[in-house]
Amino acid sequence: MKIKSLELRARVVVDGFMVGIHRSPWHGFSVEFTDYRQYSPGDDVRYLDWKLFARQDRYYIKRFEDETNLRCYLVADLSRSMEFGTTGYTKAEYARTCLATLGYFLSLQCDAVGLLTFDETIGEYLPPRYRPGHLRRLMLGLERATSGQRTDLAPPLEQITRLATRRGLVVLVSDMLAPVAGLARQLGYLRSQGHEVIVMRVLDPAEVSFDFDDPKIFEDMESGRRLFVDPDAIRRSYLQNFRQHAQELDEICRQQGVDLLTLQTGKPLDEGLLEFVRLRSRYRVRGQRRMAGEASRPAQQGGSR
Amino acid sequence: MSFLAWLFALGALGIAFPLLFHLIRPTPRGSQAFSSLMFLRQSPPRISRRSRLDNWLLLLVRCAVILLVAAAFMRPFFRTGGAIFTSDLPGKRVAVLVDTSASMQRGDLWQQAQQRLQETLDSLDPGDEVALFSFDRTTRAEVGFPQERTIDLASRVRLIRNQFATMQPGYGSTDTGAALVTCADIVTEIDDRSRTEVGLQIVLISDLQAGSQLGALQTYGWPEDVRVDVQAVHLDATTNATARVLPDEATQMLDDAGRRVRVANASDSHDEQFEVAWADDTGQIDEQTRTSFYVPPGGNQVLRVPTARELIAGKLVLTGDVADFDNEFFVVPQQARQIPIAYFGADDASDAQGALYFLKRVVPESRTRTVVVEKYPLQEAVDWKDDLVPQLVVVTGDVSAEVTARLRDYVAGGGIVLALVTEPTMLSSLQDLIGPVRLAESPEPADDYLMLSGIDFSHPLFAPLAGPRFNDFTKVRFWSHLPLSIEVDDNTSIVARFDNDEPAVWQHSIGEGVVLGLASSWRPDVSQLARSSKFVPLITNILGMGRIQLDAVDSCIVGQSIALPQTGQTWRVTRPDGSQQQVSGAETGPELLDRPGVYNFRSGITEYRVVVNLDAAESQTAPIPGENLEAFDVLVGTQPTREEIAGNMRKMKDAQLESRQRIWKWLLTAAIGLLILETLLAGRRYDTQMVNEAATA
């Protein structure tokens, strides 16, 4: 976080990640085969799978990962609560860096990356593009985003649902310190449109352990409500409430098929990136299985005919 | 309702604490911004406005608890019974003891003493008794305690005031210890006699100088009911020094070489430079003899002060200090005193084998004493003049009856006769003089020499030789003696015997004098007595038993009594101020030598000069703290006044009432009940608050 430029910061993280990923089993996945689609006139005949044509007498175009034009929506929560931090930087800075890293990383893979920042309202919005200069604008959009007042997850998720008509990857970075009551419905909308959703929960270590010592007035950064709290007396109930909220969030994400990735600002960013890659590979395997199911289904249908 | 301990009413101020706690809530230090309070709840009560009192019931209960506890500690009680009035209580017996020693002449000490006396008299209550005593070397009752208590205090005070106006500090030394003992004895004796159980008080008004004597208190058990109120008077800035001729030179004749003089400076002095000069009896100072002394405070210096040849008697005058009372030291040369001895015997003074030969040489002559041995014929009666009456008469032969009768009269008048009875014929000639003595009927034959034994060492003749170093008489051998038989009675006693149990020395009293008999002699052919070391002290002891004091006092201090030689006539004393007084007793009283100077005693043709000086201790004028008296178990302090006694009695009565009623127990019980109520109220309020918190959360 000592590097001021967000882009440079993201590059350092990704380069470090790339160097460390040489022995990774997912090396070169982007040029590997993913699925098939039927040939349509105008398609490049170089990608026709002649072997499959020989077996099935139909033209299929081989789709490779690098050919996949992934639309990724980076949704950043920049509410006032994200300005909390005890490790020398705030959760918002950590989240920006994380999103910039993901954007840089995805742009390296030629994926279209969009941005949406929100607090209680929608802030910046950049539609997912893959073109020269877009990454630059994305970085500027992240740097320009100012913190709002309170967290309201419903509007940004509804906005994404309305704007992202094409299937894509939605990465929601937030501390999720808000009631989880309506979250299941919003996530359900996204999932129903075929989006893959990864929720990256950014937390400060103090929020996880609540290791304050002296009794103080605790002031809510979003609402401004003041409360006298004796940490020693209240720590047990806090941790209990915190865990219960985390369990509810985890349950909702599990029910909706949303991956929940919890990041603590005290840990290095590349760990989060590695976890992201692991989740992405899981999606790819899951997609391959789905493709395999779809491919077998026409054959079965064709066979029956 | 009354309270025993009013001071605990301050504890009621403790209600300020609950008031404060209800007004001021604890304000936490600092604040902590936190991402979300959705998981937190408030731990202490919510902070509210500080200017408003809430929970009135709780506050009142807490204040009531504090008030009840404070009231319980105040030990309340209901006063019953009659009141105590000071007029019903006995007064004090106050003895005012005023120092009139010479040191009180300094500065305004006497005026201060008068003021202290006035303050003491003003502080007396109507029922008090008061007396006035003065002291220096002795203690005098100026105004004694009244015989009856009916005498008005105002008249007593007036009497004391008038008496004090006639008093002045004298030249006496200070014996504070004896004065306190005397006063304590007087007040306790009157108290024991009257059985009034009043407070006994001694008010000591003195400068409490370092030279005052306190020794009398060491052996005195101070009565427990007598208090001494020390009213010390002092001078802020003073200097006092005194000059004294050293004792060994004080009696020597003045000469050119001068005399050694010690100048002592008091430890509280401010000056250090003094001058000493001689002055004649008229007060004229010889400037040529002026000598400077540098003496730091508390120190002393000895220098030789030159004297003028013509100065026969005079005084040493010191200048340079503030206090003048001890600046003169009187000196007179001691006059040589003649001691006549009469000898009745036949031997010649030049006969080395005779008794007279040794008698003339036995008494050593000194600068102050000249012994004249006069030989008288045995048969001729002598009529001595007043100034020639012998100190001792020695009889060694047969004297006529007329001489015997004259000697008897001499003895009856206080004279001493020593009879050396060596011949049986002397027994008859001295029959009326030596007592019931006769020849032994069956004397034991003496084959060898005899020694003295059975010596009565309590007799003045042998008493100075009673010590173990001096009581060896074995070297005194007697080759011949007269065997005698003596009837011992009230006037006759045997002082020593020979070792064959025959009387050797006996005493027979006649009138005021005594006759000593020796059944032998000191002649060399009879005994070794004259040539033994015991001879001189024995003769000296006999002379000491005479009427003239061998070491007659020529110098003494003010107020001292001196013994006067008995001449049968009165002494006419000329005092330093020129006044004359007749003294007839054997001793002068303390009031005769009442100031320093040279006193002239004359009786007939006999004349003595006695020089009287101040006591050296009186010049030690540095004050000592009054608390030093406590080292002698003297109870220093004041007796309580009648108001204080009445107050103490009221307190005792109140304490008894309070311990009987024990109202504090009920108050504490009520406080405990209120504490329980407060706990219940506070608990219920806390529960309600928690419910409200939960609801708002």
Which secondary structure element, helix H or strand E, spans residue B193, and what is its range? helix B176-194
Tell me the C-alpha to C-alpha distance, in Å, between residue A191 and each of A112, A157, A168, A250, A278.
Answer: 19, 11, 10, 16, 20
Could you say which of A84, A212, A242 has the minimum Cβ distance to residue B39?
A242
Protein fold of B241-334: Immunoglobulin-like (2.60.40)
Q: Quick one: which of B415, B358, B404 has its CA closest to B545?
A: B415
Mean per-residue pLDDT for B306-331? 80
Question: Are residues B35 and A91, on separate chains, in Cβ contact within 8 Å?
Answer: yes
On whether the CB atoms of residues B263 and B241 are closer than 8 A, the answer is yes
Q: How confident is the model at residue B313 (pLDDT cuts 50, 70, 90)?
A: low
Chain A nearest CA to B14, separation (Å): 29
> Is the Cα torsion angle B628, B634, B635, B638 positive or negative in sign?
negative
The CATH code of the domain that includes A76 is: 3.40.50.410
Whether the pLDDT of residue A284 is over 50: the answer is yes
Q: Give the Cα separation of B68 and B675 in Å (integer).
A: 11
Q: Give the Cα separation of B193 and A57 in Å (integer).
A: 157
3-state secondary structure of B531: coil
Q: Structure tokens of B376?
A: 């008288």
Question: Are residues B37 and A223, on separate chains, in Cβ contact within 8 Å?
Answer: yes
On whether the CB atoms of residues B125 and B232 are closer than 8 A, the answer is no
Q: How confident is the model at residue B162 (pLDDT cuts 50, 70, 90)?
A: very high
Q: Tell me if chain A has a CB within 8 Å of the CB of B46.
A: yes
pLDDT of residue A299: 39
Q: What CATH number belongs to B337-544?
A: 3.40.50.880
* Domain spans in chain B, listed from the N-terminal domain onward: 2-27+43-77+662-696, 86-234+623-640, 241-334, 337-544, 555-616
B-chain CB neighbours of A249 within 8 Å are none
Residue recorded with tokens 């007084």: B581
Could you say which of B30, B36, B46 has the minimum Cβ distance to residue A222?
B36
pLDDT of residue B225: 86
Residue B574 bridge partners (DSSP): B580, B600
Could you say which of A175, A178, A227 has the minimum Cβ distance to residue B37?
A227
Chain A nearest CA to B50, separation (Å): 16
Cβ under 8 Å to B: A residues 92-131: none
Could you say which of A214, A221, A233 has the minimum Cβ distance to residue B33?
A221
pLDDT of residue B196: 62
Which secondary structure element, helix H or strand E, spans residue B429, and what is its range? helix B425-429
Q: Give the Cα separation of A107 and A10 in Å (integer).
A: 11
Question: Are residues B38 and A245, on separate chains, in Cβ contact within 8 Å?
Answer: yes
Q: Give the Cα separation of B23 and B19 in Å (integer).
A: 6
- Identify the closest residue of chain B to A240 by CA–CA distance: B39
pLDDT of residue B151: 67
What is the 8-class DSSP label of residue A281? H
State pLDDT tens for residues A65-116.
544 467 888 888 888 888 888 888 889 889 888 888 888 888 887 788 898 8
The least confident of B137-146, B201-210, B382-391, B631-640 is: B382-391
Chain A nearest CA to B48, separation (Å): 12
Q: Quick one: which of B147, B161, B159, B153 has its CA closest to B129?
A: B153
On whether the CB atoms of residues B438 and B502 are closer than 8 A, the answer is no
Protein fold of B86-234+623-640: Rossmann fold (3.40.50)
Q: Give the Cα separation of B576 and B612 in Å (integer).
A: 10
Q: Tell me if chain A has a CB within 8 Å of the CB of B694.
A: no
Q: Give the Cα separation of B531 and B475 in Å (integer).
A: 10
State pLDDT tens for residues B456-499.
998 888 988 988 888 889 889 999 889 998 988 888 999 999 98
Which strands, in side-by-side order, build the sheet including B139-143? Answer: B139-143, B129-135, B92-99, B199-206, B226-232
On whether the CB atoms of residues A276 and A72 are closer than 8 A, the answer is no
Could you say which of A175, A218, A241 has the minimum Cβ distance to residue B32?
A218
Q: How confident is the model at residue B102 (pLDDT cuts 50, 70, 90)?
A: very high
Q: Give the Cα separation of B436 and B491 in Å (integer).
A: 10
Domain count, chain A: 1
Neighbours of A240 (CB within 10 A): 11
Mean per-residue pLDDT for A46-58? 89
Q: Tell me if chain B has a CB within 8 Å of the CB of A207.
A: yes
Question: Are residues B39 and A230, on separate chains, in Cβ contact within 8 Å?
Answer: no
The least confident of B76-80, B307-311, B395-399 is: B307-311
Q: Give the Cα separation of A64 and A47 in Å (integer).
A: 9
> Is the Cα torsion angle B260, B266, B272, B278 positive or negative in sign?
negative
A-chain CB neighbours of B30 within 8 Å are 214, 216-217
A-chain CB neighbours of B686 within 8 Å are none
Q: Structure tokens of B274?
A: 């003094």
Q: Can B86-234+623-640 and B337-544 be said to share one CATH topology? A: yes
3-state secondary structure of B200: strand
A-chain CB neighbours of B34 within 8 Å are 84, 218-221
Q: Structure tokens of A30?
A: 């982007």
Chain A nearest CA to B673, separation (Å): 32
Question: Are residues A216 and B42, on separate chains, in Cβ contact within 8 Å?
Answer: no
Chain B nearest CA to A242, separation (Å): 6
Mean per-residue pLDDT for B163-171? 92
CB pairs A-B closer than 8 Å: 83
What is the 8-class DSSP label of residue B285? B
Residue A24 located in a structural domain: no
State pLDDT tens for residues B218-259.
989 999 889 999 999 988 878 889 998 887 654 455 455 677
Candidates A204, A218, A232, A234: best to mutate against B (most CBs of B within 10 A) is: A218
pLDDT of residue A23: 33
Which residue intervals of B564-623 are DSSP H helices? none
Q: Give the Cα separation of B155 and B21 in Å (integer).
A: 67
- Identify the closest residue of chain B to A204 by CA–CA distance: B35
Chain A nearest CA to B690, separation (Å): 14
Tell me the C-alpha to C-alpha distance, in Å, between residue B558 and each of A20, A204, B180, B598.
Answer: 122, 106, 21, 11
On whether the CB atoms of residues B591 and B554 are closer than 8 A, the answer is no
Question: Are residues B34 and A220, on separate chains, in Cβ contact within 8 Å?
Answer: yes
Phi-psi region of B75 (alpha: psi -120 to 50; beta: other; left: phi over 0): left
State pLDDT tens for residues B337-392.
778 899 998 888 888 999 999 998 887 777 667 788 888 888 887 877 666 778 88
Residue A50 located in a structural domain: no
Q: Structure tokens of B544?
A: 């000491």
Whether the pLDDT of residue A295 is over 50: the answer is no
Mean per-residue pLDDT for B542-554? 63
On whether the CB atoms of residues B303 and B333 are closer than 8 A, the answer is no
Residue A218 located in a structural domain: yes
Residue A302 located in a structural domain: no
pLDDT of residue A24: 33
Q: Give the Cα separation of A23 and A26 in Å (integer).
A: 9
Which residue intervals of B256-382 are DSSP H helices? 355-362
Range of the domain at A196: 71-267
Mean per-residue pLDDT for B143-168? 84
> Within 13 A of B143's CA, how many CA atoms are on the CB side?
23
Q: Which value, to the nearest 10 degrees, does the dihedral of the CA atoms of residues A151, A154, A158, A164 take?
A: 50
Residue recorded with tokens 């058990």: B221
Whether the pLDDT of residue B178 is over 90: the answer is yes
pTM for the full predicted model = 0.48
pLDDT of residue A289: 56
Could you say which of A178, A179, A229 has the minimum Cβ distance to residue B43?
A229
Q: Quick one: which of B516, B441, B431 has its CA closest to B483?
A: B441
pLDDT of residue B552: 52
Q: How confident is the model at residue A204 (pLDDT cuts 50, 70, 90)?
A: very high
Q: Tell me if chain B has a CB within 8 Å of the CB of A219.
A: yes
State pLDDT tens for residues A219-236.
888 888 888 888 888 888
- Between B446 and B557, residue with greater pLDDT: B557
What is the 8-class DSSP label of residue B527? B
Question: Are residues A218 and B40, on separate chains, in Cβ contact within 8 Å?
Answer: yes
pLDDT of residue B649: 81
- Identify the closest residue of chain B to A231 by CA–CA distance: B43
3-state secondary structure of B388: helix
- Identify the closest residue of chain A to B45 by CA–CA distance: A228
Chain A nearest CA to B23, separation (Å): 18
State pLDDT tens for residues A265-283.
888 887 777 887 777 776 6
The least confident of B138-147, B315-324, B418-427, B562-571 is: B562-571
- Identify the closest residue of chain A to B31 by CA–CA distance: A217
A-chain CB neighbours of B38 within 8 Å are 177-179, 241, 245
Neighbours of A286 (CB within 10 A): 12
Q: Give the Cα separation of B406 and B102 in Å (integer).
A: 51
Question: Are residues A230 and B43, on separate chains, in Cβ contact within 8 Å?
Answer: yes
Q: Which of B281-285, B437-441, B513-517, B571-575 has the highest mean pLDDT?
A: B513-517
Length of chain B, in residues: 697
Q: Which value, to the nearest 10 degrees, does the dihedral of the CA atoms of residues B620, B625, B631, B635 take?
A: 130
A-chain CB neighbours of B29 within 8 Å are 214, 216
On whether the CB atoms of residues B221 and B180 are closer than 8 A, the answer is no
Cβ under 8 Å to B: A residues 47-86: 81-82, 84
> Within 13 A of B363's CA, how many CA atoms are on the CB side?
24
Which residue intervals of chain A are DSSP H helices? 6-20, 50-56, 91-108, 134-144, 154-163, 183-192, 205-209, 231-256, 269-304
Task: Give chain B's mean pLDDT.
Answer: 84
- Identify the closest residue of chain A to B37 by CA–CA distance: A220
Residue recorded with tokens 């000493």: B276
Q: Which residues are within 8 A (CB) of B618 and not within 5 positions of it... i.e. 6 or more apart?
A: B101, B102, B103, B172, B173, B174, B209, B211, B326
Q: Quick one: which of A79, A39, A81 has its CA closest to A61?
A: A39
Q: Structure tokens of B694?
A: 């939960």
